[in-house]
């Protein structure tokens, strides 16, 4: 591996380019016409414009990406997250053209990309799954049949989905028709596939995920958990590790369940096995596996000291993992806040524009992953993520205090941001005591503001 095409944009493109540079690898960035002056295009050894602003004509344009990779002499492709990162066809086409795809084999992406099949595979090896349908549901009547033994509320989910798209909570039979139509339409628009399946909707649970890594020889490790329960409309907002709801015995059980799945499917490279956890009972249930690097991977890096992106590049190049489970140590506590160009006062409405002031925080234990600089344009065509602020400290109270100071020092002008939202979360008694769940933002935090 000598030259890598970075098939993405934004902060993850910057992150991959810096990891490649650390390993002495050359990089080729791609961009749309909206991103010609973006930071990632300046950091790479070379940048190629591959299409107009619409992602379908640029960052999702497989022929353009392959032509660029071959024309610039790349021998590998890193897909980042989002866009084509979990597209088995893209991974397979890369391999057919002699390009190393930095991720798992296409067959594994296909298996785990179908959420219904992923549930079946997990259940087959004894990993508990949320009660629900064992096959896709094509009609409202089929959903109603599934609902009889498991009851309401239900969660309709896109079989090809992720990132909270194509999901609807259904609390009563009367809500089914509209929810089914809405979930199908969103799934079709986001993934080109309207297939849905059903799960029992578990109330007041935690979203806990296990970071894994495996090499081509079958060696695999997990890096502990991340708690991603702070969500809005199934979109993660704040992540931390370790989880306040996970004790050592439970951590070991969840880690072994995740690695059991990794070994069963012949997984390779970086991935994340996601669970929901009932804190009171300690019962956890598999929900899906993301076959890529995660947005929140810096939390694990700060906690374990392992560079996950350079590790996945080495593994993709055929090197052994070089880590055993005993080598993985979680030290202290880490928190990540996603700072988006959105206005919390206007129902988190995205606010594209030009960043006129950009002064991110600095200091011991503070990391900022971003693609933004003063004068940067925030286009309306893509995700609104501006930066991720990550802090690490000796314990959770110290990490919270450090994050408060970091956010207070973060000066942004020209576009709205979610900084005020995060400051509010960090001051809330429920968050300070660890009493949060996946619906807490909507049912407690934002609901209290509306009543006030």
Collect all residues with Cβ–Cβ distance below 8 Å to 231 and sequence separation of at least 6.
164, 207, 237, 438, 441
The active-site residue out of 9, 15, 119, 292 is: 292
Report how far apart, in Å, the C-alpha atoms of 202 and of each of 130, 155, 181, 222, 438 are: 8, 9, 22, 26, 10
Instruction: Return the HEC string of 39-76.
Output: HHHHHCCEEEEEECCCHHHCCCCHHHHHHHHHHCCCCE
Could you identify the residue written with the tokens 């979930």?
183
- The sign of the torsion formed by the CA atoms of 259, 315, 74, 381 equals positive
Element (H, E) at 186: helix 176-191
Do residues 92 and 104 lie in contact, with contact meaning Cβ atoms separated by under 8 Å? no
Using alpha carbons only, what angle is made at residue 445 by residues 444 and 446, rounded to the nearest 5 degrees?
Answer: 100
- Burial class of residue 379 in the structure, from the number of CB atoms within 10 Å of its CB (0-12 exposed, 13-18 middle, 19+ buried): middle
- Burial class of residue 346 in the structure, from the number of CB atoms within 10 Å of its CB (0-12 exposed, 13-18 middle, 19+ buried): exposed
In angstroms, rounded to a whole number, what is the distance separating the alpha carbons of residues 298 and 290?
Answer: 16
In angstroms, rounded to a whole number, what is the distance separating the alpha carbons of residues 282 and 297?
Answer: 24
Which tokens go with 73? Answer: 């002499």
Which residue in 160, 236, 231 sits closest to 191, CA to CA? 160
- The sign of the torsion formed by the CA atoms of 383, 389, 395, 400 equals negative
Crossing angle between the packed helical segments 308-316 and 10-22, to the nearest 10 degrees: 70
Collect all residues with Cβ–Cβ distance below 8 Å to 451 and sequence separation of at least 6.
none
Residue 435 among the catalytic residues = no
Residues belonging to the active site: 292
């Amino acid at each position: 591996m000598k030259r890598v095409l970075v098939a993405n944009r934004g902060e993850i493109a910057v992150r991959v380019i810096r990891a490649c540079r650390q390993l002495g690898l050359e990089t080729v960035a791609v961009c749309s016409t909206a991103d010609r002056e973006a930071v990632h295009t300046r950091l790479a050894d070379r940048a190629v414009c591959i299409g107009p602003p619409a992602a379908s004509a640029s960052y999702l344009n497989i022929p353009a990406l392959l032509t660029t990779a071959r024309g610039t002499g790349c021998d590998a492709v890193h897909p980042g997250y989002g866009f084509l990162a979990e597209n088995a066809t893209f991974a397979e086409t890369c391999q057919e053209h002699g390009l190393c795809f930095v991720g798992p084999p296409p067959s594994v992406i296909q298996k785990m990309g179908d959420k219904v099949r992923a549930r079946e595979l997990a259940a087959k090896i004894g990993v508990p799954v949320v009660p629900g349908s064992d096959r896709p549901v094509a009609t409202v009547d089929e959903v109603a049949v599934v609902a009889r033994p498991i009851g309401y509320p239900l969660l309709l989910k896109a079989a090809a989905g992720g990132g909270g798209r194509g999901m609807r909570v259904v609390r009563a039979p009367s809500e089914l028709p509209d929810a089914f139509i809405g979930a199908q339409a969103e799934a079709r628009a986001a993934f080109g596939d309207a297939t849905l399946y059903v799960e029992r909707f578990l109330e007041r649970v935690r979203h806990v995920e296990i970071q894994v890594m495996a090499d081509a020889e079958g060696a695999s490790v997990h890096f502990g958990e991340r708690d991603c329960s702070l969500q809005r409309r199934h979109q993660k907002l704040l992540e931390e590790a370790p989880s306040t709801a996970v004790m050592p015995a439970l951590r070991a059980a969840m880690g072994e369940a995740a690695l059991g799945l990794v070994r069963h499917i012949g997984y390779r490279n970086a991935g994340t096995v996601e669970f929901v956890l009932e804190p009171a009972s300690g019962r956890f249930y598999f929900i899906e596996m993301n076959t890529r690097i995660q947005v929140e991977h810096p939390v694990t890096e700060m906690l374990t000291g392992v560079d996950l992106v350079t590790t996945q590049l080495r593994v993709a190049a055929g090197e052994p993992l070089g880590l055993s489970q005993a080598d993985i140590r979680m030290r202290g506590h880490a928190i990540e806040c996603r700072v988006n160009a959105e206005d919390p006062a206007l129902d988190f409405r995205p606010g594209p524009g030009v960043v006129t002031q950009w002064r991110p925080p600095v200091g011991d234990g503070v990391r900022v992953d971003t693609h933004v600089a003063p004068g940067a344009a925030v286009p309306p065509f893509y995700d609104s993520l501006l930066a991720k602020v990550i802090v690490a400290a000796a314990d959770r109270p110290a990490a919270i205090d450090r994050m408060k100071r970091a956010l207070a020092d973060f000066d942004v002008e020209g576009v709205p941001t979610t900084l005020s939202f995060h400051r509010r979360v960090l001051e809330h008694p429920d968050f300070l005591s660890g009493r949060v769940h996946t619906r807490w933002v909507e049912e407690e935090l934002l609901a209290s503001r509306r009543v006030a």
